[in-house]
Chain A
Amino acid sequence: MGNITDDTVEKKEIQISRTDNGDGFLKFRKKLFDVLRYVLLVFLVVVWLIPILWLCVTSFSSQSGINISHFFPTSWSVDNYIKLFLKPDSVVRYVTWFRNTLEISVFTCLISTAFVLMVSYAMSCMRFKGRKALMSMSLILGMFPGVLSMIAIYFVMKSLNLTNSHIGMIIVYSAGSGLGFLIAKGFMDTIPTSLREAAKLEGASEFTIFSKVVLPLSKPIVVYQVICSFLIPWGDFVMAKLMLNSGKAEDWTVAIGLYNMLDKSLVNSYFSVFCAGGVIVSIPISILFVIMQKFYVEGITGGSVKG
């Protein structure tokens, strides 16, 4: 389900179009619509990519502030990237931020993926007392605005002395991740029960069934979970801003560092550096996203609730 393979669509559509053959006027109309369709597509792509293009070209500008009169920079240079990687100053600590963000994201990703898979297996493949109550409760908890509990989480972490620490960040991002089991559970629901029963008859323990039968069959959803849980800390801004508030630039993640560059007093000398930083931080995500495309659709349409 959910494979984006273009052939299948085309095949379908060819079958459909058999009845479409008409006279000259119809052919002309068809051509016209084809052209219009491409014009529309190109227009939309331009609209969607203009900000991204602006980001890229500004990152190569030799002018440090915002260029408000020209879209393309008047003179080009790679100084911004050099500044990011080789000349850290009190404002720019890009390499440190990148390492921090990567560290937090990787650990969060490992823990939350494990949590989500564990909970979804228990909810999907096992039957025990209180299962439905737990599921309803997780749904209700999910409705509480995250922003609100953020403040309380901050206080809880502060009383544990875990603010301004990366371990604290990892805990904050991954501890509650078990709640996001619905999609993975939906996917595991589609794995035939007979497979598990067969394994049980052969004498496999639940643990073996989990690790040797269900997990290998859930590969798409595992990939989806890994990428999603990596992206949450990677792109998060609010929680990091709240938790890492010491003002020490070497503790920050990329998001806070870049946000700080747009401060009113700094924006005129760091805007193009901000753009360069934005480009660099987007590269890993873009790659992940292109890989994830397929799994994303599969996860949503296959894993989400059917009907």
Chain B
Amino acid sequence: MREKYDEEIKTELSDEEIDNLDVNAMIHEQRIREKSAEKEKRKQQRKESVQSVGRYFSDAWEAFTRGDVWVKLSSVLMGAGYFARKQIINGLLVMLAEAGFIFFIAFYSVPFLADFGTLGTVKFESVFDPVTLQNTVNDYDNSFLILLNSIISIFVIIVFVIFYIANIKNVYKLQLDKESGKHINTFREDLNELVNDRFHITLLTLPVIGVILMNIIPIFVLVAVAFTNYDQQHMPPNSLFTWVGLANFKSLFSNSITATFGYAFGKILVWTLVWAVFATFTTFIGGILLAILINHKRVKLKKMWRTLFIIAIAVPQFVTLLLVRNFFADSGIVNTICSNLGITRLLQNIGLVSTSIDYIPFLTDPGWAKFMIIMINIWVGVPYQMLISTGILMNIPSDQIESARIDGASNWQIFWHIKIPHILFIQGPALITDFVKNINNFNVIWLLTQNVFITHDQALASSNAKEVDLLVTWLFRLTNEYYNYKMASVIGIVVFVICAVFTLITYTRTIKGDREEDFR
């Protein structure tokens, strides 16, 4: 990639040359050709992926129909095919897995799956029993447990189906191997495969299980909750909740006198995007400028300066942000200093602070709080960006800068035409990742404003929102303080969609697997 970039710079530098028109035209043509080739390739890939799904199932069917009696028997007793080829331990393990699955579904999942459609019908009831002097509780349904366990069961079933299909194919392959007289692995050899050609299975099993448990199942649970009426009035175990379709999505995008979610959502969405844009670009530009300042040729003790800035981010965020929050409190030290120096009076005179209060409402007035949050975020984020930019700046090939010098470029031109494009080139994709991270930047907003900022906007307050909230902090408050899980889930899905759109923009540029071989 570096070479390609060099080429571009060189063509730029040779702009004054006479034959540059031809060069430009050629490059242009080549680019068009590359683009169309890429398009063609993508189309091909899409086609292939559709075909491969079809082949996946047809292969299994073929294995079943063409297989011998043992293969057919394997569709019921999954280990049969292995026993026939003398792979006793493999056969036993597979049979064990099958038995475990049947046992799990029959004795654990069925009661939950049966109620999945209604999420429970028997309400919690507790009757005082005068004989035993104790409350007896009926056999009630817990909607949440039904939901959670049903989803887990569905996952288990899907995994089992994949396992089942793979098993049929595998057994058929064993039969073919046997017929053609190929060597059939012993159990020991199979184990040996796991540290060789099939090492990826060994490596990936545990992490994938972890991800399914901690990421995938929770996501599915909450997507499901978005279509229910799970909130404070419908909290298990004391009451039931049930499916309500798209009602929650409707209430997020509409307004009525009692429900102001539409209003709050619009306001918070706008602030979230404004925040993400400002937070990303201010720290990005600030970090580059600081890196350039520190790396200037006549600045001594570069390492010391850098370390001083790093100390600021080495203190955990929950300490610094809570501290800064008290620093800028209404009756905090900054306000004392400002009023001693007459700054409060000055701001009152120019109308930035209302005259009814004698302090600067750094974190209590919507406008001021938003400004301060962005400023404090610069404080938090710039040292990180400085570190990264330093690394990138040092990797700019010196011959580039030197040749620009020889051609008579000024410092400013070098900065603007070489250094900035280089940083942007390397960091471009990361910039959008940062943007998405800032949409989800919980810490800064929550630690700075929780218990400090009180909204005076009735419409916002009635949907438990504040002016300074991001979508994620609003979501967290809805669940953690108001138990409004249904709306929180809807907001979560919206945030996901927004982030997905921004990530997909960069997706083709970032992990497009085709290019990864180029760097070896």
Contacts and interface: CB of A to CB of B under 8 A. Distances in A.
Contact of B316 (A128, A149, A234): A234
A307 interface: yes
Nearest to B305: A41
A138 B208 CA distance: 10
Contacts, number: 324
B27 interface: no
Contacts of A156: 148, 213-214, 217-218, 221
Interface stretch (B14-22, B243-251, B296-304): B296-304
Contacts of A48: 308-309, 312, 379, 383
Nearest to A4: B390
A189 B520 contact: yes
Interface stretch (A81-89, A114-122, A217-225): A114-122
A52 B503 CA distance: 36
B443 A237 contact: yes
Main secondary structure of the interface of B (DSSP, over half): helix
Interface stretch (B113-121, B342-350, B484-492): B484-492
Interface string A128-162: 10011011101111011111111111011001000
Interface string A212-242: 0000000000000000000000110110001
A68 B332 contact: yes
A297 B319 contact: no
B469 to A, nearest CB: 12
A71 B314 CA distance: 22
Contacts of B297: 9-10, 13-14, 16-17
Given A13-B297, A135-B511, A301-B426, A285 B314 contact: yes
A41 B299 contact: yes
Interface string B204-227: 101110110111111101100000
A62 interface: no
A69 interface: yes
B1 interface: yes
Interface in B302-336: 302-303, 305-320, 322-324, 326-327, 329, 331-333, 335-336
Contacts of A300: 387-388, 391, 430
B377 interface: no
Contact of A52 (B195, B214, B311, B426): B311
A135 B513 contact: yes
B299 A12 contact: no
Given A238-B476, A289-B314, A145 B309 contact: no
Interface in A31-70: 34, 37-38, 40-41, 44-45, 47-49, 51-52, 54-55, 66-70
A258 B320 CA distance: 12
Contacts of A274: 322
Nearest to B398: A12
Contacts of A51: 312, 320, 323-324, 327, 379
A171 B324 CA distance: 32
Interface in B345-401: 379, 383, 387-388, 390-395, 398, 401
B333 A206 contact: no
A9 B300 CA distance: 12
B484 to A, nearest CB: 11
B519 A286 contact: no
Contacts of A288: 314
Contacts of B471: 145
A240 B515 CA distance: 40
B386 to A, nearest CB: 10
A4 B306 CA distance: 10
B436 A143 contact: yes
B294 interface: yes
Contact of B315 (A15, A52, A147, A193): A52
B262 interface: no
A117 B5 CA distance: 31
B440 interface: yes
A156 B217 CA distance: 9
A14 to B, nearest CB: 7
B80 interface: no
B296 A37 contact: yes
A139 B297 CA distance: 40
B203 A119 contact: yes
B476 A152 contact: no
Interface in A248-298: 255, 258-259, 262, 264, 267, 271, 274-275, 278, 281-282, 285-286, 288-290, 293, 296-298
Nearest to B45: A132
Interface in B24-74: none
Contacts of A141: 211, 215-216, 219
Contact of A205 (B195, B293, B310): B195
A201 interface: no
B148 A155 contact: yes
B333 A67 contact: yes
B462 interface: no
Given A6-B302, A278-B315, 4 more contacts: A14-B297, A139-B510, A148-B489, A307-B515
Closest 10 CB pairs of A and B: A178-B207, A13-B297, A152-B218, A148-B492, A297-B391, A175-B210, A206-B199, A307-B1, A278-B319, A207-B195
9 contacts: A9-B394, A16-B398, A45-B308, A54-B327, A71-B333, A126-B203, A128-B200, A148-B496, A305-B509
Interface of A: 1-4, 6, 8-10, 12-17, 19, 34, 37-38, 40-41, 44-45, 47-49, 51-52, 54-55, 66-71, 115, 118-119, 121-122, 126, 128, 131-132, 134-136, 138-141, 143-153, 155-156, 159, 171-172, 174-179, 182, 189-190, 192-193, 205-207, 210, 234-235, 237-238, 242, 255, 258-259, 262, 264, 267, 271, 274-275, 278, 281-282, 285-286, 288-290, 293, 296-298, 300-301, 304-307
